[in-house]
């Protein structure tokens, strides 16, 4: 029986974003990471181009999150509070494509670490690994502006991914990114219009569009995942349909969001029908990640080493141009 | 695929006889297009018109049922993206049982799976089907396994058995139970006979689109329409694309051969692989997922994903309006109040928990709306919140008289104090994520 595959082509294309910089470009990374560039829905090789596979970053901390589960701690033991050593372990042993340094400890209520100290930590991580770096902040505007300015300056030319700015607080950090040649995450709360608006605000201040990654805000499994999922599909579809202010690659945070919810921290003793805790935590992070991958996520920040392993393997399996059939 | 009024008009006799009760054929065609009339009202409709309009009114993806007592309904989906409308019939989750397994073990497994359920946001989440595989020579083992399931569970059954004698006897046992037959090989005349006799649905397996279309056409022309498609793709990436092609062909090209729900039997080395694949297939169009084993932690993640993806994007999930204890509250612990939109509830309760404080969280009935929306609609105002607090007799349950309201509705504080005499209303932070720092700054106990 004859059958013709119904293909849909798109006018638009997701922008290609380069993270990190090699010595020729003013940085010290051994290689850069590219994301974006797709002309179709995620992994639809049969009807479009998907030049760059999604990448997995792992996160290290200036201060370990209060709710960080013990079973995760067990994977890192002596390096959990040494960001540069933990980063090295994530890259060498777990195959992280990038490292995110979370600077929660600079928050005035969570340690109030100084901007200088934060910049020092980021520099140490840059020295210990050769992959591109993401610098992840928080929402205390005044403090994070000061911290990110310092970090941008101290890492000038490295093309770090500065994570994040939001609609109410973008100018200072965007200006610092621009001055010291970094890439920027534009975060908005699960809303297509707000996402588009922030991208317009940024490009209106002459921030280059090819230096923007979108964060539509991750709701983990059971905590708003469906909203994130559909917003991402809509952003991807609109971007492909030709809306240039939505045609950016997207970042998600399944690690951070998963390992603070009850389902990844409560024991089987407490909830027998929930099953084994550590497995459940990993499953939760994987289910969040895999569903958002098919919705369009291209840069994923994860926590559980075994979840990272399986997600990387699946990305490899999904990233095969169509053969046969 | 919907026909326009003009398309329908072309199929009508164009005599304007009025026998249908409408003065002109054009007017009747318009009514048909709007589904306000039926073609049978026209006594002169041609066979061609009947066939064309009949086909057009069929759903593009057929609704298929498995099981009799606890019936699983799958298919009848209408969109590629859930944000375009909604996904209607949640993916059925089947657990495989093998006939070679020891009877005792099999029995306890069946009982455990039958009883297993998890409650989440007021919904009871559970598996839907048993997938029974004949993997031993002995026909008796297979039939015993089926009987064990039938005696101990009301869930539907999928039979996976290449020996036609065993299959025939199995179908006899399940003659009133509307099972499904999983065919690993190409559809044969014998399969068609068995399906017709037993009213079982058929799960067709193929390695290519053409082969699959050939098999569904064979089944359809034999009058069988309760079909489920199992295209064996090479790996998760191909399957994601193949499932998209199948769904798109059915919905957008009205390609009847693929207008049926999809099934995957997932093979995986371990639980991590299994959940990774199942998550992709659940999002991208599988109506039945067969898991090779029972794993509670994995099921909880998969159930939750199914609940998330199959939630109607237009209708927020609600949690039960009542008082929720956060941590281990005492009568002196403070009271927080918020709305019963599930996401609001999850975020607020999670952040109170993160703050380390124990508290009573009053979730008022706002019909699932979030704080600002509910306030704007007059559902989250002082008087109504006060009435709810009185109705649930909170004043008898707690000794504290401090209540924290969301920062976004500071306007209601005066009104609330007026309707709740004796209470101190404290305006909280606007964002839930600021709750941990808020409780450090404000004395609540």
Q: For Cα atoms B193, B228, A294, give the angle at the middle one, nearest 5 degrees.
A: 165
pLDDT at residue number A1: 62
Is residue B229 within 8 Å of residue B285, measured between CB atoms?
A: no
Distance from CA of A64 to the nearest CA of B (A): 14
Q: How far apart are CA A252 and CA B197, in angstroms?
A: 52
Average pLDDT of chain B to the nearest whole number = 92
- B87 with B209, same domain? yes
Domain segments of chain A as ranges: 16-318
Q: State whether A291 and B280 contact (CB < 8 Å).
A: yes
Distance from CA of B119 to the nearest CA of A (A): 9
How far is residue A158 CA from its own chain's centroid? Answer: 17
Is residue B125 within 8 Å of residue B118, measured between CB atoms?
A: yes
Q: Over the stretch B306-326, which tens digit does the pLDDT of each residue have? A: 999 999 988 777 888 999 999
- pLDDT confidence bin for B31, thresholds 50/70/90: confident
Q: State whether A294 and B275 contact (CB < 8 Å).
A: no
- B114 with B214, same domain? yes
Count other C-beta atoms under 10 Å from residue A291's C-beta. 25
- B80 with B208, same domain? yes
For A86, residues 6+ apart whose C-beta sits below 8 A from its C-beta are: A60, A61, A76, A79, A80
- B422 with B400, same domain? yes
Q: Which residue of A lies nearest to B309 if distances are taken between CA atoms?
A: A226
The residue out of B282, B309, B336 marking a domain boundary is B309
The residue out of B309, B334, B369 marking a domain boundary is B309
Instruction: Residue B420: give its domain's CATH number.
Output: 3.40.50.11600
A291 touches chain B (CB under 8 A): yes
- B277 with B171, same domain? yes
For the stretch A239-278, what's the b/e string if a residue is b when 16 or more beta carbons lie within 10 angstroms of its beta carbon? bbeebebbbbbbbbbbbbbbbbbbbbbeebeebeebbbbb
Is B314 within a domain?
no
Q: How far apart are CA B33 and CA B73, in angstroms?
A: 28
Is residue B165 within 8 Å of residue B136, measured between CB atoms?
A: no
- pLDDT confidence bin for B433, thresholds 50/70/90: confident
Averaged pLDDT for residues B4-23: 88
Q: Report chain B residues whose CB lies below 8 A from the CB of A6.
A: 245, 248-249, 252-253
pLDDT at residue number A321: 67
* Residue A166 β-bridge partners: A169
Q: Give me the total of CB pairs closer than 8 Å, taking one residue from chain A and one from chain B.
A: 182
B343 touches chain A (CB under 8 A): yes
- Side-chain half-sphere CA neighbours of B145 within 13 A: 29
How far is residue B223 CA from its own chain's centroid? Answer: 29
Averaged pLDDT for residues B116-143: 93
Tell me what percent of the residues of chain B surpass a pLDDT of 90.
Answer: 74
The residue out of B252, B285, B309 marking a domain boundary is B309
Q: Report chain B residues whose CB lies below 8 A from the CB of A262.
A: 350, 353
Count other C-beta atoms under 10 Å from residue B359's C-beta. 24
CATH superfamily of A16-318: Dihydropteroate synthase-like (3.20.20.20)
Q: Decide if the complex's ipTM is over 0.95.
A: yes
Q: CA nearest B280: which of B266, B270, B292, B294?
A: B266
Is B271 within a domain?
yes
Q: State whether A290 and B235 contact (CB < 8 Å).
A: no
Q: Which residue of B lies nearest to A267 if distances are taken between CA atoms?
A: B297
pLDDT at residue B444 greater than cutoff 90: no
Q: State whether B297 and A280 contact (CB < 8 Å).
A: yes
- B27 with B118, same domain? no
A233 touches chain B (CB under 8 A): yes
- B301 with B158, same domain? yes
Is B160 within a domain?
yes
pLDDT at residue number B2: 65
Contacts with A, B 55-94, CB within 8 Å: 81-83
From start to end of B207-292, where are the E strands? 227-231, 262-265, 286-291
- B215 with B103, same domain? yes
Angle between helices A225-241 and A277-295 (to 10 degrees): 20
Q: How far apart are CA B331 and CA B154, in angstroms?
A: 44
Is B145 within a domain?
yes
pLDDT at residue number A325: 37
Is residue B238 within 8 Å of residue B277, measured between CB atoms?
A: no
A82 touches chain B (CB under 8 A): no
**For chain B, percent helix, then strand, then coil, each to nearest 5?**
45, 20, 40
Q: State whether B297 and A230 contact (CB < 8 Å).
A: no
Q: Over the stretch B36-91, which tens digit does the pLDDT of each residue have? A: 788 888 888 888 888 777 777 678 999 999 999 899 999 999 999 999 999 999 99
Q: State whether A275 and B213 contact (CB < 8 Å).
A: no
Q: Report chain A residues whose CB lies below 8 A from the CB of B284.
A: 294
Structure tokens at B433: 């994520």
Number of structural domains in chain B: 3
- B48 with B91, same domain? no
Distance from CA of B248 to the nearest CA of A (A): 7
Count other C-beta atoms under 10 Å from residue B370's C-beta. 20
Distance from CA of A304 to the nearest CA of B (A): 11
Q: State whether B209 and A314 contact (CB < 8 Å).
A: no
Is B315 within a domain?
no
pLDDT at residue B143 greater than cutoff 90: yes
DSSP state at residue B81 = S
Residue A322 region by backbone torsions, left for phi larger than 0, else alpha for psi between -120 and 50, else beta: beta
Q: How far apart are CA A210 and CA A201, in angstroms?
A: 14
Count other C-beta atoms under 10 Å from residue A78's C-beta. 9
* Residue A133 β-bridge partners: A99
Structure tokens at B382: 């002082």
B433 touches chain A (CB under 8 A): yes
Is B316 within a domain?
no
pLDDT at residue number B52: 79
- B330 with B270, same domain? no
Q: Over the stretch A123-165, which tens digit does the pLDDT of each residue have? A: 999 999 999 999 999 999 999 999 999 999 999 999 999 999 9
Q: How far apart are CA A258 and CA A244, in angstroms?
A: 31
Q: How far apart are CA B325 and CA A176, in angstroms?
A: 45
- B327 with B398, same domain? yes
Residues lower than pLDDT 70 in chain A? 1, 321-325
- B297 with B184, same domain? yes
Range of the domain at B366: 323-441
Q: Which of B280, B307, B346 sits opposite A290 (nearest CB)?
A: B280
């Amino acid at each position: 029986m004859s059958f013709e595959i119904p293909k849909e082509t798109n006018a638009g294309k997701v922008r290609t974003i380069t993270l990190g910089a090699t010595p020729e470009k003013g940085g010290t990374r051994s290689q850069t990471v590219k994301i974006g560039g797709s002309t179709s829905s995620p992994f639809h090789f049969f009807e479009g181009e998907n030049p760059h596979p999604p990448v997995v970053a792992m996160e290290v901390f200036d201060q370990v999150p209060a709710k960080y589960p013990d079973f995760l701690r067990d994977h890192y033991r002596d390096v959990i509070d040494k960001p540069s050593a933990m980063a090295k372990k994530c890259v060498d042993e777990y195959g992280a494509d990038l490292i995110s340094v979370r600077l929660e400890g600079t928050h005035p209520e969570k340690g109030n670490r100084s901007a200088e100290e934060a910049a020092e930590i980021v520099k140490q991580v840059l020295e210990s690994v050769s992959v591109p770096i993401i610098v992840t902040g928080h929402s205390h505007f005044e403090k994070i502006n000061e911290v990110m300015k310092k970090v941008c300056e101290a890492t000038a030319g490295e093309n770090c991914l500065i994570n994040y700015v939001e609609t109410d607080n973008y100018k200072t950090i965007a200006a610092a990114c621009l001055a010291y040649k970094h890439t920027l995450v534009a975060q908005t709360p699960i809303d297509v219009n707000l996402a588009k608006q922030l991208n317009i605000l940024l490009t209106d201040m002459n921030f280059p569009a090819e230096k923007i990654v979108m964060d539509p805000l991750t709701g983990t499994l059971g905590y708003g995942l469906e909203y994130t999922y559909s917003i991402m599909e809509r952003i991807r579809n609109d971007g492909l349909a030709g809306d240039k202010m939505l045609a950016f690659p997207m970042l998600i945070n399944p690690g951070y969001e998963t390992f603070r919810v009850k389902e990844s921290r409560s024991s089987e003793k407490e909830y027998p029908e929930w099953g084994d805790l550590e497995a459940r935590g990993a499953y939760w992070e994987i289910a969040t990640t895999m569903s958002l991958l098919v919705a369009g996520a291209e840069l994923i920040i994860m926590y559980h080493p075994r979840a990272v392993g399986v997600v990387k393997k699946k990305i490899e399996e999904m990233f095969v141009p169509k053969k046969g059939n | 695929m919907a026909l326009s009024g003009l398309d329908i008009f072309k199929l009508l006799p164009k005599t304007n006889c009025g026998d249908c009760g409408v003065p002109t054929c054009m007017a009747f065609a318009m009514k048909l297009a709007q589904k306000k009339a039926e073609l049978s009202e026209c006594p002169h409709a041609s066979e061609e018109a009947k066939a064309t309009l009949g086909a057009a009114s069929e759903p593009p993806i057929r609704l298929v049922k498995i099981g009799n007592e606890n019936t699983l309904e799958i298919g009848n989906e209408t969109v590629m993206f859930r944000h375009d409308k909604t996904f209607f019939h949640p993916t059925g989750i089947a657990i495989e049982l093998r006939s070679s397994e020891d009877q005792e073990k099999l029995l306890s497994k069946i009982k455990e799976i039958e009883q297993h359920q998890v409650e989440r946001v007021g919904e009871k989440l559970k598996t839907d089907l048993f997938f029974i595989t004949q993997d031993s020579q002995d026909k008796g083992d297979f039939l015993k396994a089926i009987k064990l399931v039938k005696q101990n569970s009301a869930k539907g059954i999928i039979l996976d058995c290449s020996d036609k004698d065993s299959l025939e006897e199995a179908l006899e046992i399940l003659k009133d139970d509307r099972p499904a037959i999983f065919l690993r090989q190409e559809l044969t005349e014998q399969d068609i006979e068995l399906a017709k006799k037993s009213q079982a649905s058929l799960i067709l397996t193929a390695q290519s689109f053409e082969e699959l279309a050939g098999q569904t056409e064979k089944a359809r022309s034999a009058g069988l329409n309760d079909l489920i498609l199992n295209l064996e793709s090479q790996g998760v990436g191909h399957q994601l694309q193949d499932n998209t092609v199948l769904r798109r062909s059915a919905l957008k090209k009205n390609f009847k051969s693929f207008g049926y729900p999809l099934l995957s039997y997932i093979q995986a080395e371990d639980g991590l692989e299994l959940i990774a694949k199942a998550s992709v297939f659940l999002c991208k169009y599988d109506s039945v997922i067969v898991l090779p084993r029972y794993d509670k932690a994995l099921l909880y993640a998969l159930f939750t994903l199914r609940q998330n993806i199959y939630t109607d994007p237009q209708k927020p999930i609600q949690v039960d309006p009542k008082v929720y204890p956060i941590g281990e509250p005492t009568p002196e612990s403070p009271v927080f109040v918020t709305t019963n939109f599930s996401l609001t509830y999850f975020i607020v309760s999670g952040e109170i928990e993160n703050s380390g404080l124990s508290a009573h969280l009053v979730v008022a009935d706002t019909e699932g709306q979030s704080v600002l929306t509910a306030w704007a609609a007059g559902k989250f105002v002082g008087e109504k919140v006060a009435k709810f607090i009185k109705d649930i007799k909170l004043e008898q349950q707690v000794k504290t008289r401090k209540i924290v309201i969301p920062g976004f509705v500071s306007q209601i504080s005066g009104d609330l104090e007026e309707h709740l005499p004796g209470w101190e209303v404290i305006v909280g932070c606007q964002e839930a994520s600021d709750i941990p720092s808020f409780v450090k700054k404000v004395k609540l106990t």
